[in-house]
Structure 1
Amino acid sequence: MLRRRDFLASAAAAAALPVLPGLAAAQDAPTGVTPLEPAGTPRLPRGFVWGASTSSYQIEGAVTEGGRKPSIWDTFSHTPGRIADGTNGDVACDHYNRYAEDVDLMARLGLQAYRFSIAWPRVMPDGTGPVNPAGLDFYDRLVDKLLARGILPMACLYHWDLPQALQDRGGWHNRDMAGWFADYAVAAVNKLGDRVKPWAMLNEPSVHAIFGHGFGNHAPGLTGWPSYVMAQHNQNLAQGAGIRAIRAIRSDLKLGTVFSLQPIYPSSQDPADIAAAQRFDACWNTINLDPLFHGRYPAPFDGVFAQLVKGGDMEQIRVPVDFLGVNYYGPSWIKHDPAAFLAQAGYGAVPEGTPRTLLGWPILAQGLVEVLARLRDSYGNPPVFVTENGACYEDPAPAAGLVHDPERTEYIRAHLVAASQAIAQGCALNGYFAWSLLDNFEWAEGERRRFGVVNVDFATQKRTPKSSALYLSQLIKAHAAGAQP
């Protein structure tokens, strides 16, 4: 079980985190940053882990450097009409070349941990077969830099950038993906496992299945219910195979996975909408949770998955995890929609007055408490890290070395208050990773939508902290100084 103290002590080189100076401007509350006042201030326990997250295709760039070959997102983003603003991840944040600068920035902010993903097409450019030493060397340098600055690395093995070579062999519709993923996972761990101790297998498999293999508006752009079901089951298989393969070679690692979880509400009290909300909840939430923790698919879809499940599948999927990553953004209101591919469940009306982000996503910080309480009550209260939480807004241009983003600052504050409430209610929450460290290539939205707590000028690659970053820095320092209960 991955506890707070285990997380901070899991890498020998990072066992004693140095006191980091942070940004000088964060010593005082900058304009637009909520000051640390008793009312509405997050109070997190001693040892709570503070971090930020990114993903490889969204920030690395350098898509042809160091032996890397194309991923499904390279193919998808270069297909006309797929990306809202016509951009792609060829350069993104150029993190491949600027990682040292980015790690120094994390250290100045006082971040204790960094969740990043490893690009499969860098490590195994053809998806299977020989390991690419140059690709692994990049992550080797990144990990060493993180540890040198007192930041604990958490690696995620798959954040949607499947090698195109494997997509050409069926991708997540191919049951062999489980074995291919396990081989890749072992290769990464063999290189980095002496220093990286927490490992997440997959990022948001239900989202990848729904939007990449059902709706078709994410890579690889496939559509339909059978496509979604196959992609979901084979990701579940790969998740279990990866954990088992890693545990067979090392016993000193903390292994988990990352799910996007959200409360699902019916858009009305019509029985048809209530039933649709239950089906959508199964597709989004319990399609991952039930197999992992209970060894079965949720009741609405037992028959559907029975066509794919072979002997031993559910035993492979149900494997103990040391932690669960939870990505939380907000709830959904669902209505019955006979035309919807996803179990005849579609997005319905959001209650009037509900605040939203620029993407139209509803905001409900208390929904995080609901999600964590569900894990407590129905899934054994596993150790949890919020591995993504953040919001997209129309940020102004930098001014005097700062981007003023009070809406995002308030979003983060409200969700950290909810986190503290969940802990007080007995939920095993151990840390919080903001999404995202940097403005990045935001999937089908391209570069036009920004989630970062650090602004990136994509033309010059200049990084400018936002007031939300300074707010986080201030909170981290206050807790380190003993402001927590």
Structure 2
Amino acid sequence: MDFNNPQNAFNLKPQDFGKDFVFGVSTAAYQIEGAHAIHDKGVSIWDQFTSKKGNIFNNQHGQIACDFYNKFEEDILLMKSMNIKHFRFSLAWSRIIPNGTGVVSSEGIAFYNRVINFCIACGITPWVTVYHWDLPQALQNQGGWVNREVLQWFENYTRVCATHFGDRVKHWMVLNEPMVFTGAGYFLGVHAPGNKGLKNFLPAVHHAVLCQAIGGRMLRDLVPDAQIGSTFSCSEITPYSQAARDVLAAKKANALLNRLFIEPLLGLGYPTKHVPVLKRIEAYIKPDDLKKAVFDFDFIGVQNYTREVVKHSYFVPYLRARIVKASKRNVKTTLMDWEVYPPSIYNMIAHFNEYKGVKKIIITENGAAFTDKLVSGEVNDTERLQYLQSHIAQVQKAKAEGLNVAGYFAWTFTDNFEWAEGYHPRFGLVYTDFSTQQRIVKASGKWYKDFLGS
């Protein structure tokens, strides 16, 4: 079979992946919930970041987003009607503990109890992410991820989550894409909290590495029968040419983007050989930190959307490497200017399978944004449909070849707030009319429903 041909995906059925393989959808609290100031919810760094002009496309924000806070029953019933049996969502730290530490919000706990209970009543398994980028602003005022006290803050927050929800939630993810929230938020400054430079990035990285293990241990202690993981953004890295300096640039980019968080987790330390500037992280490492960074997760969440082509660049500090934009390479792209390259997801499954300490891989995010048009009450998103088919086929190829992949979650259920890009890119299987909050299942969503129902 030619797994690069998306038409082959029409021939696949869920049972082709094995009886224990799971299919679902993924979301994140700030991107869908809205209700930003209801009851006693505290301010998050994304509430703060979006309040400043120029940070977000068209100065948009997530104050209402998809209004999931008020519409969760409607959305979960829609999932049920679409044969979706696994729902990944995150908990908003500032909704549960408004000031980050101290008093726990009874209203916040009650909301997530309602969501979890309704999922279970509808036959949908909740998969909960503890942290998906929305740090309480009160903690950011004390340095956020740069402050080593975040280790205690995060341990306490995870304890609260596990204590209140662990009796029903048996699938947990500790962090979502730590490379993104540290890189974009504490080095480039394009995501909340908008900080820049190595002096912010390196301590944030080290503290996030420690917290992914701290969260895992806390969940293991309090929810011993749970499946516990953490998720990593990753992209296949290809050198622009076979010139030695481009090949080296690709190795550097791969070490930074794909290895920085998984390797200390597995006891391999930081990948300083290919990114020497990372040696400066030693200034933040205390005795036994690298031992404490290790945790035996039940699964690793792999989140893949594209591949990146990298070439040498003298002008990029520290790395001497830069990504060549997909739009400059005459390839098919998404609205995000990401190359549509299905083999990337197979290659990343293979990459993470090479680590001896990885027990199981689950694709916890995969999807694409295209220009969706609502015509006569329908959205015929053929490009997204083909994208999903071709990527799911690559996952099945990996499974058929014996690679240890056990699940696939599409990003995302409904169109939502896409961080710095605002509401412009639509990733959803379901179209959201943000003026009316009407949901309309797209052609891709109808296909996913039929695929899961088959």
TM-score, normalised with respect to structure 1: 0.88
Residue 248 of structure 1 and its aligned partner are, at CA, apart by 2.6
> More displaced, 340-349 or 207-216?
340-349
How large is the RMSD of aligned CA atoms in angstroms?
1.9
How far the C-alpha of 1:236 sits from its partner, in A, is 0.7
Matched, 1:477 2:453: yes
Structure 1: distance between partners of 2:10 and 2:412:
25
Match for residue 147 of structure 2? Answer: 174
For residues 208 and 148 of structure 2, the distance between their equivalents in structure 1, rounded to whole angstroms, comes to 9
Greater shift in the superposed pair: 391-400 or 409-418: 391-400
Q: Is the 8 A contact 1:263 1:331 kept in 2?
A: yes
Indicate conservation of the 8 Å contact 1:264/1:333, yes or no. Answer: yes
How much has 1:34 moved relative to structure 2? 6.9
SS of equivalent to 2:187: helix
CA–CA distance in 1 between the matches of 2:127 and 2:13? Answer: 30
2:396 corresponds to: 420
Map 1:272-311 to 2 at 5 A: 272-298=245-271, 299-300=273-274, 301=276, 303-311=279-287
Deviation at 1:181, TM superposition (A): 0.5
SS at match of 2:261: helix
Q: Which of 454, 459, 470 is 2:435 aligned to?
A: 459
Structure 2: tracts of 5 or more residues without a match: 1-5
Is this contact kept in 1: 2:14–2:452, CA < 8 A? no
Superposed, 1:381-420 pairs within 5 Å as: 381-400=358-377, 402-420=378-396
For residues 315-330 of structure 1, what are the structure 2 equivalents within 5 Å?
A: 315-330=291-306
Deviation at 1:338, TM superposition (A): 3.2
The answer on whether the counterparts of 1:214 and 1:342 sit within 8 Å (CA) in structure 2 is: no
SS of the residue corresponding to residue 100 of structure 1 reads helix
Task: Report the Cα distance in structure 2 between the residues aligned to 1:384 and 1:104, rounded to whole angstroms.
Answer: 28
Over residues 387-425 of structure 1, what are the superposed CA-to-partner deviations in whole Å (9 max), with x where a residue is unaligned? 11000000011434x311000000000000000000112
Give the CA deviation at 1:39. Answer: 8.5
Pick one of 402, 415, 434 that aligns with 1:439: 415
Matched, 1:361 2:334: no
1:373 alignment partner in structure 2: 350
User: Contact (CA 8 Å) 1:337, 1:345: kept in 2 or not?
Assistant: yes
In structure 1, how many angstroms separate the alpha carbons of the residues matched to 2:402 and 2:189? Answer: 39
Report the CA distance between 1:156 and its aligned residue.
Answer: 0.2
2:444 maps to amino acid = S
Q: CA deviation at 1:289?
A: 1.3
Note if 1:57 corresponds to 2:20.
no
Identity of counterpart residues, as a percentage? 36
2:234 maps to 1:261? yes
Give the letter for the 2:18 counterpart: P
Q: Which residue of 2 aligns with 1:183?
A: 156
* SS of aligned partner of 2:379: coil
Letter of the 1:428 counterpart: N
| Aligned twin of 2:63 | 90
Report how far residue 434 of structure 1 moved. Answer: 0.5
Structure 1 gap segments, 5+ residues each: 1-32, 479-485
Moved more, 253-262 or 370-379: 370-379
Deviation at 1:229, TM superposition (A): 1.6
In the TM superposition, what are the counterparts of 1:116-135 in structure 2 within 5 Å? 116-135=89-108
For the 8 Å contact 2:299–2:358, the answer to whether it is kept is: no
Partner of 2:169: 196
C-alpha distance in structure 1 between counterparts of 2:325 and 2:242, whole Å:
12
Any idea what the Cα deviations from partners look like across 1:45-64, whole Å, max 9, x if unmatched?
22321100000000000000
Alignment check: 8 A CA contact 1:88 1:446 kept: yes
The Cα of 1:279 is off from its aligned counterpart by 1.3
Contact 2:13 2:451 in 1 (8 A): no
What is the CA-CA distance between 1:337 and the residue it aligns to?
2.5
User: Matched residue of 1:75: which SS?
Assistant: helix
CA deviations over 1:4-33 (Å, ceiling 9, x no partner): xxxxxxxxxxxxxxxxxxxxxxxxxxxxx9
**Aligned equivalent of 1:24:** none
The 3 A distance-change label for structure 1 pair 282 and 289 is same
Residue 167 of structure 2 aligns to a residue whose secondary structure is coil
**Aligned-partner residue type, residue 435 of structure 2:** A
1:28 corresponding residue in structure 2? none
Aligned to 1:113: 86
Letter in 2 for 1:192: F
* Residue identity matched to 2:173: A
Is the deviation greater in 138-147 or in 380-389?
Answer: 380-389
Aligned-partner SS, 1:386 = strand
- Is this contact kept in 2: 1:43–1:417, CA < 8 A? no
> Following the alignment from structure 2 to structure 1, what is the Cα–Cα distance between the partners of residues 31 and 308?
25
Match of 2:210 in 1: 237
Work out the number of aligned pairs and report it. Answer: 445
Residue 79 of structure 1 corresponds to 52
- How many Å separate the matches in 2 of 1:52 and 1:345? 34
CA 1:448/1:276 → structure 2, altered by over 3 Å: closer, same or farther? same
Moved more, 193-202 or 248-257: 248-257
Contact 2:145 2:204 in 1 (8 A): yes
Q: Tell me which residue corresponds to 2:184.
A: 211
Q: Matches of 1:288 and 1:125 in 2, distance apart?
A: 28
TM-superposition CA deviations, 1:91-112 (whole Å, max 9, x none): 0000000000000000000001
Deviation sequence 1:161-191 (CA, Å, 0-9, x none)? 0000010000010111111111001101111
Structure 1, 108-117 or 41-50: larger mean CA deviation: 41-50
Give the CA deviation at 1:272. 2.1
In structure 2, the CA distance between the partners of 1:153 and 1:201, relative to structure 1 (3 Å rule), is same
Paired residues of 1:40 and 1:417 also in contact (CA < 8 A) = no
Q: Distance in 2 between matches of 1:319 and 1:167?
A: 26
Work out whether residues 34 and 471 of structure 1, in 8 Å CA contact, stay in contact via their aligned partners in 2.
Answer: no
Identify if the C-alpha distance between structure 1 residues 393 and 248 changes in structure 2 by more than 3 Å, giving closer, same or farther. Answer: same
Aligned counterpart, 2:113: 140
Whole-Å separation in 2 of the counterparts to 1:394 and 1:238: 38
Quote the Cα distance in structure 1 between the aligned partners of 2:318 and 2:117.
43
Q: Which amino acid aligns with 2:110?
A: D
TM-score when normalising by structure 2: 0.94
Q: Deviations over 1:428-461 (max 9, x none)?
A: 1111111000100110011111101100000000
